[in-house]
Chain A
Amino acid sequence: QTVVTQEPSFSVSPGGTVTLTCGLGSGSVSTSYSPCWYQQTPGQAPRTLIYSTNTRSSGVPDRFSGSILGNKAALTITGAQADDESDYYCVLYIGSGIWVFGGGTKLTVL
């Protein structure tokens, strides 16, 4: 059973920078896991931010960036805005056509 880990919650000040991470219960995340990131506000469908580690989806501002930091995938938000307050999910490709989501990070902007 593959476990994908995310911080349950995080807080950032308006205008600040925050990095959310996506790890594996055992092992390191690399680009071969093709990490993707999604933003979701209550009652709405998820919105795709980043795919294939660091490719921004259409219309996503460049304040959002994806990378590999150490042994985890990372989503960095620079110049945080009030409407960035959302749940953020990562998903990893673990092979054989199977993908696994992390539990999500609730980001508060205050």
Chain B
Amino acid sequence: EVQLVESGGGLVQPGGSLRLSCAASGFTFSNSWMSWVRQAPGKGLEWVANIKEDGSDKNYVDSVKGRFTISRDNAKNSLYLQMNSLRAEDTAVYYCARAQQLLYWGQGTLVTVSS
């Protein structure tokens, strides 16, 4: 059974940093693109970033370019999202998902950016 478990969310001040993690199991992680998607409170889904199987290709939505970095550790079956220079508008539940097509989803972790 595919499982994706996000962690690392919390309350952070504007301008601060946070690192999200996603622990994957139930599939061959090293053979799969991985993605991050977020959902602001009461709003729709927003694709954030994805990363190729070997980490050689990374893509980002314009609003996070230069601030967020997606990475992975295939030895640990883990996906990460380093978020710097956080803004109020980054407040959202962050989901990790398997593949570019978002075939499986975790339950999400809430990030709140507020002073």
Contact A45 B107 (CB under 8 A): yes
Instruction: Among A34, A40, A97, find the residue whose CB has the most chain B CB atoms closer than 10 A.
Output: A97
Residues 56-104 (chain A) with a chain B CB within 8 angstroms = 57, 87, 89, 91, 93, 96-104
Instruction: Confirm or deny: B102 has a beta carbon within 8 angstroms of a beta carbon on chain A.
Output: yes
Interface size on A, residues (CB 8 A): 24
Give Cα A104 to B46, complex, Å: 11
Query: Do B59 and A97 have beta carbons less than 8 Å apart?
Result: yes
B103 and A46 contact, CB distance less than 8 A: no
B101, A104: Cβ atoms closer than 8 Å: no
* Assembly CA distance A71 to B45 (angstroms): 23
B102 touches A36 (CB 8 A): yes
A47 to B105, CA, bound (A): 7
Could you give, for residues 93-115 of chain B, a 1 whenever the CB lies within 8 Å of some chain A CB and a 0 otherwise?
00100001111111110000000
Which A residues are closer than 8 A to B by beta carbons? 34, 36, 38, 40, 45-48, 51-52, 57, 87, 89, 91, 93, 96-104
With A46-B105, A91-B45, A99-B100 given, can you name 14 additional A-B contacts, CB distance below 8 Å? A38-B102, A45-B107, A46-B37, A46-B45, A46-B102, A48-B105, A51-B102, A51-B103, A91-B47, A97-B58, A98-B59, A98-B61, A99-B50, A101-B44
Q: Can you offer 21 A-B residue contacts whose CB atoms are under 8 A?
A: A36-B101, A36-B102, A40-B45, A45-B106, A45-B108, A46-B95, A48-B102, A87-B44, A89-B45, A91-B45, A91-B47, A96-B59, A97-B50, A97-B58, A98-B47, A98-B59, A99-B35, A99-B50, A101-B44, A102-B44, A104-B45
